[in-house]
Amino acid sequence: MFFSLIESSRSALAAIFANRLRSFLTTLGIIIGVASVIAVVSVTGGMSAFIGDSFASLGADSLTIRSYTPFEDLMKGVRSRLTPADLELIEKRGEGIASITPVLEANRSSQIKYGPQTAYSQIMGTTYAYQDVAQSYTEIGRFLAQSDNLTRRRVAVIGEDVRENLSLPEDPINEYVELSGEWFKIVGLLEPMGDIMGQSRDNIVLIPYSTMVSIQGNQSRIDIGIQLNLTPAANVENVSSQLTTLLRNAHDLSSNEDDDFRIQTAEQLMEQFDQILGTLTMVIGGIVSISLLVGGIGIMNIMLVSVTERTREIGICKAIGAKSHHILMQFLIEALLLSLLGGLIGLISGYGLGMLIANSIPDFPPANVPLWAASLALGFSGFVGVLFGILPAAKAARLDPIDALRYE
């Protein structure tokens, strides 16, 4: 049995290499299908691993609370808000909270000026607790102090991208920048944090929360975000449930009304991103499977032609003692090798294409092909080869040796 398998494989390889161009064109559908799938998986895999690391840096014990307004309400001009009163309520009655800070984003121009240089950045008002909640610490200088908020000082802590975009000195401490028409003194430069979901975390300017409130003016229209992290003994789900109850009661929401806020953890954000990537991969995989189907049909078609061309060869083999199962095995192995060869070329091409895409986009994470994806691609290619090779192989095995020898 082993000898016949080796002999069948040798004969199949000889037949494939005897018609190299035809064999390549036969496997083209398999190559394109597998290459497309692997390219998508390698790009999304690299992105997923990178973003997973980025979300992990946010901390599994951190929570973010933001207002939420359904689209229908927005169209009616209704907008939900989180207010300083909500922050005060959570500070007083929230359980299991280690650190908490408000985050108030600028609602005017995010333009920053330094001399003749102008840049655009995310400008946020926050407190000294932000560094612990967001795990964002200064590389040079100091972070915002509690006294900065008490006295509404015009001081700022900037990210590395802001420093570069404004052509500030490597040590920008005590330099002045203009925000919203007012001058702010730089007191700290943040450690580089990198990107998350394509957004730079270094293009940021932090100013005291009270200063941002005074700049924005009308406190009744303020919509803040709230970020917090938990004590080691606290349970994320329990704290989230308790905060939901507190805010629903504070906002006078009835039992049949939806929350007008969202409480999210870094883990939930990662799960949402994984769902998006998974759906995208499945959709593209479904489309690309059509190419694999076409490739399988191409293999079956060429194998049927090959059986017809080699009818006399099959007759001679049977006349000298080859059994039907030997012929069946030879043609099945030939179809299997064709599809596996196409799958292997597609795997290499897809990974190369994924690397090319990743390298062509600035700051994009490197392509990454999981072992399961490579194994599945080759396994599915082999399955397609066997599935569409059965009919030609069975036709060859059923040939009558006398009729085959008479065939011209």
Angstrom distance (rounded) from CA 19 to CA 84: 76
* Residues 407, 230: Cα–Cα separation, whole Å: 82
Instruction: Say what the pLDDT of residue 330 is.
Output: 77
**pLDDT on residue 148:** 93
The string of DSSP codes covering 261-326 is EEEEEHHHHHHHHHHHHHHHHHHHHHHHHHHHHHHHHHHHHHHHHHHHHTHHHHHHHHHTT--HHH
Of the pLDDT bands very low, low, confident and very high (cuts 50, 70, 90), residue 338 is confident
CA distance 67 to 262: 6
The DSSP symbol for 156 reads: E
Q: What is the pLDDT of residue 306?
A: 74
Cα 256 to Cα 304: distance, rounded to the nearest angstrom: 65
Residue 77 has pLDDT above 60, yes or no: yes
Q: Give the whole-number percent of the chain exceeding pLDDT 70.
A: 85
* pLDDT (0 to 100) of residue 196: 64
pLDDT at site 60: 57
Residue in this structure with the two tokens 């069975």, named with its chain if needed: 394
Is the pLDDT at 54 greater than 90? The verdict is no
| pLDDT at 303 > cutoff 90 | no
What's the mean per-residue pLDDT of the chain?
Answer: 81
- The larger pLDDT score, comparing residue 364 to residue 350, is at 350
Which is nearest to 335 in space by CA: 306, 313, 312, 292?
306
Average pLDDT over residues 43-66: 68
Contact 387, 296 (CB under 8 A): yes
CA distance 339 to 333: 10
- Mean pLDDT over residues 273-277, rounded? 72
Task: Name the residue ranges covered by the structural domains of the chain.
Answer: 2-54+271-406, 81-259
pLDDT of residue 406: 63
| pLDDT bucket at 49, cuts 50 / 70 / 90 | low
- Please count the residues of the chain: 408
When pLDDT is cut at 50, 70 and 90, the band that residue 34 belongs to is confident
Of 162-176, 189-203, 229-243, the one with minimum mean pLDDT is 189-203
- Please state the φ and ψ torsions of residue 248, each to the nearest 5 degrees: -65, -45
Asked if pLDDT for residue 136 goes beyond 70, the answer is yes
In the predicted structure, residue 408 carries a pLDDT above the cut 60: no
Mean pLDDT computed over 189-205: 80
Mean pLDDT of 113-138: 90
Tokens of residue 71, six digits: 């689209």
Which segment of 75-79, 198-202, 404-408 scores lowest on mean pLDDT? 404-408
* Contact of 120 with 111, CB cutoff 8 Å: yes
pTM of the model: 0.62
Residue 110 has pLDDT above 70, yes or no: yes
- Three-state secondary structure call for residue 128: coil
What is the predicted pLDDT for the residue at 44?
A: 74
